[in-house]
Amino acid sequence: MPPVHARRYARNHVWAELDGDSVLVGISARALDQLGEITDFVLRVQPGDELALGQCFAVLESAKAEIELFTPLSGAVVRVHEGLDLAPSTINDDCYGEGWMIAVRPPDLSEFTTLLDAEAYSELLKTAASCV
């Protein structure tokens, strides 16, 4: 697993992690705790698609809810994780590893650097928990 500082988080609990000249994107463990076991995964993008910041790239379904996932940065989709639709439990089993969903090549890293680092994301989670 890459160093934690290589991973950043959006406030919507989607993570982004540097991977060579691209950025892997997935959903955080916190979001999965709220959703429970993922029962269905539908990608809404394919390699070659250009994504705008905040564009929907996938839909997750669990027994509790169906949610759309929005990209934390803009760029070209260079890879999608083939097979997650057939084995969506992979997302629950290893959300920061084998559960990655898409790889995006951003035009630069400016949007990536504005995402929350691990410490800031942890603080966000603490604040959210204290509001319950």
**What CATH number corresponds to the domain at position 33?**
2.40.50.100
- Report pLDDT for 56: 98
From residue 99, how far is each of 32, 69, 91, 115 by CA, in Å?
11, 14, 4, 20
| Number of domains observed in the structure of the chain | 1
pLDDT score recorded for residue 2: 43
Chain-centroid distance of CA 27 in Å reads: 4
Instruction: Provide CB contacts within 8 A for 14, sequence distance 6+.
Output: 25, 26, 27, 28, 31, 69, 70, 71, 72
CA distances (Å), origin 132, targets 13, 65, 120, 127: 17, 19, 19, 9
Q: Structural domain of residue 114, as residue ranges?
A: 4-130
Positions of the chain with pLDDT under 50: 1-4, 132
User: Model's pTM, two decimal places?
Assistant: 0.90
**What is the pLDDT, as a whole number, of residue 129?**
58
